[in-house]
């Protein structure tokens, strides 16, 4: 939502943790009028891990259709949504009240309500809550940040990076911090997310453009934009999106990779991992590592240097003990 627009209505409804996580992943808009609402999920009671809630902020009084659509998002509850007129409150500040700063490897992710961390070798990234997914507080984004940090620890160096489904731009910015001389292209299917990412880039002193050391932000459905074909092959590709697009994009991502390309995938649940691994094995990738954040695995794969039958990667006995294993 553009700066200066005051959101005057808030609709709240209890939900389950699974529903909250699904909403965060979907970045789902439920507009029934010209108003585009913003959905914020929150843990309602830390002592009850499954008791979550959603808050929907909008700049027009919700109509019956919107309320009905909101109720459909959380089928587990029979409660009626509460409606509150907010007056002149700042929706960004309100939606960020529950977002505490967090550490993920050498990254410190915070909102503009919290100061950066003045610590050596720490990369501060400021991302405010808004109309794009990826403040760093979801397990999928945390897993990707830690995966990038691990690659840096291993001494990996990348010169041509792609971030598919960039959301707020957070992962592209993190890659820029780690490999400041790389060319980075970051895309999202949602033009709102692209504009949010541009705003966040300015706030974080990230250079935008086509040159080395800069991040190019653009709207694209997967890798359909000609910019990807011109820039490919990439030596590092990141995709933190939903499991459906992850599977369907496997051929496109494989075409944009080269032997030895590292691929970081997130946005899937534990039980969806076999389908994703299988799709990318068929596209020529080998699984090299899994990092588990709650029920959300983050996969690290590598494009095979030789083709033919790909042997499956042996998994640890307990997924809860899974970390990185093997060499990328």
Q: Where are the beta strands (DSSP E) in 72-207?
A: 82-85, 102-104, 107-110, 123-126, 160-164, 183-188
Query: How do beta strands 102-104 and 107-110 pair?
Result: antiparallel
Element (H, E) at 293: strand 285-293
- Answer with the residue of higher pLDDT: 62 or 113: 62
Per residue in 23-63, pLDDT (tens digit) is: 654 444 454 444 556 777 777 666 676 788 888 877 788 88
CA–CA separation, 180 and 114 (whole Å):
25
Flag whether pLDDT at 308 surpasses 60: no
- For the stretch 285-298, pLDDT in tens is 999 999 887 678 99
The predicted pLDDT at position 306 comes to 64
Mean pLDDT of 103-125: 83
Tell me: is residue 111 an annotated ligand-binding position. no
pLDDT-derived band at 216, boundaries 50, 70, 90: very high
**More confident position, 317 or 70:** 70
Lowest mean pLDDT, pick from 129-133, 140-144, 279-283: 129-133
Strand, coil or helix: 218: strand
Judge whether 6 is annotated as a binding position: no
Q: What's the whole-number mean pLDDT along residues 123-142?
A: 66
Read off the tokens for 117: 């961390």
On average, the pLDDT of the chain sits at 80
Q: Is 137 a residue whose pLDDT tops 60? A: no
pLDDT given at position 37: 67
What is the third-level CATH fold of 9-95? Alpha-Beta Plaits (3.30.70)
> Is 188 assigned to a binding site?
yes
Identify which of 60-69, 263-272, 291-300, 311-320 has the greatest average pLDDT.
Answer: 263-272
Q: Which two structure tokens, joined as six digits, stand for 169?
A: 């731009």
Domain spans, the chain: 9-95, 110-321
Task: Judge if pTM exceeds 0.95.
Answer: no
Between CA 5 and CA 159 the distance in angstroms is 40
Q: Is the pLDDT score of 133 beyond 90?
A: no
CATH number for region 110-321: 3.40.50.150
How many Cβ atoms from other residues are within 10 Å of residue 38's Cβ?
19
* Distance from C-alpha of 291 to C-alpha of 203, rounded to nearest angstrom: 30
Report, in angstroms and rounded to the nearest whole number, the Rg of the chain calculated over CA atoms.
20
Residue 317 has pLDDT above 50, yes or no: no
Q: Does 313 show up as a binding residue in the annotation?
A: no
Higher pLDDT, residue 44 or 310: 44
Is it true that the peptide bond before 192 is cis, omega within 30 degrees of 0?
A: no
């Amino acid at each position: 939502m553009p700066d200066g627009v005051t959101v005057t209505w808030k609709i709240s409804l209890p939900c389950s943790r699974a529903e909250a996580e699904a909403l965060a992943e979907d970045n789902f808009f439920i507009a029934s009028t010209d108003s585009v609402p913003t959905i914020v999920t929150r843990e309602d009671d830390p002592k009850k891990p499954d008791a979550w809630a959603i808050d929907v902020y909008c700049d027009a009084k919700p109509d019956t259709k919107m309320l009905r659509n909101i109720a459909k998002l959380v089928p587990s509850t029979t409660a009626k949504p509460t409606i509150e007129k907010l007056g002149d409150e700042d929706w960004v500040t309100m939606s960020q009240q529950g977002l505490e700063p967090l550490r993920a490897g050498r990254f410190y992710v915070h909102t503009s309500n919290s100061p950066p961390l003045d610590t050596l070798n720490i990369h501060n990234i400021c991302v405010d809550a808004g109309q794009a997914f990826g403040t760093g507080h979801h397990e999928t984004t945390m897993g990707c940040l830690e995966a990038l940090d691990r690659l840096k620890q291993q001494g990996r160096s990348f010169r041509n990076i792609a971030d598919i489904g960039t959301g707020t731009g957070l992962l592209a910015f993190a890659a820029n911090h780690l490999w400041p001389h790389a060319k980075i292209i970051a895309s999202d299917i949602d033009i709102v997310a692209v504009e949010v990412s541009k705003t966040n880039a300015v706030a974080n002193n990230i250079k935008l453009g086509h040159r080395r050391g800069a991040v190019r932000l653009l709207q694209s459905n997967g890798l359909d934009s000609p910019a990807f074909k011109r820039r490919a092959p990439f030596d590092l590709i990141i995709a933190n999106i939903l499991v459906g697009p992850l599977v369907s994009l496997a051929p496109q991502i494989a075409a944009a990779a080269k032997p030895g390309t590292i691929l970081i995938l997130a946005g899937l649940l534990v039980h969806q991992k076999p389908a994703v691994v299988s799709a990318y094995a068929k596209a020529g990738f080998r699984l090299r590592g899994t990092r588990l954040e709650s029920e959300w695995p983050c996969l690290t794969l590598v494009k095979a240097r030789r083709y033919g039958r790909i042997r499956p990667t042996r998994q640890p006995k307990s997924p809860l003990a899974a970390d990185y294993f093997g060499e990328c």
